[in-house]
């Protein structure tokens, strides 16, 4: 059983992105990450503003 584990651990991990394209892939992934973070940050701030505005309208 240990031989099977050793064989599996020694096997190289296949990457779907070529060595040449990895830097472009990382850059693309980072841009999507930043854009996603900013999208949800702005969306959350807008919802907080809506809730605070609704609270002021209801309490008056």
According to the model, what pLDDT value does residue 40 have?
93
According to the model, what pLDDT value does residue 47 have?
98
Indicate whether 31 belongs to any domain: yes
Indicate whether 10 belongs to any domain: no
According to the model, what pLDDT value does residue 31 have?
80
According to the model, what pLDDT value does residue 27 have?
79
Q: Which domain holds residue 46?
A: 20-60
Indicate whether 1 belongs to any domain: no
Indicate whether 2 belongs to any domain: no
Give me the number of domains the chain comprises.
Answer: 1
Residue range 8-27, pLDDT digits in tens: 555 556 666 566 666 777 77
Indicate whether 7 belongs to any domain: no
pTM exceeding the 0.85 threshold for the entire prediction? no
Distances (CA, A) of 24 to 14, 27, 46, 49: 18, 5, 33, 37
């Amino acid at each position: 059983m240990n031989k099977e584990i050793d064989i599996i651990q020694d096997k190289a991990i296949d990457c779907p992105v070529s060595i040449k394209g990895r830097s472009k892939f990382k850059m693309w992934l980072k841009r999507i990450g930043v854009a996603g973070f900013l999208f949800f940050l702005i969306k959350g701030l807008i919802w907080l503003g809506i809730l605070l505005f609704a609270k002021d309208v209801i309490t008056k």
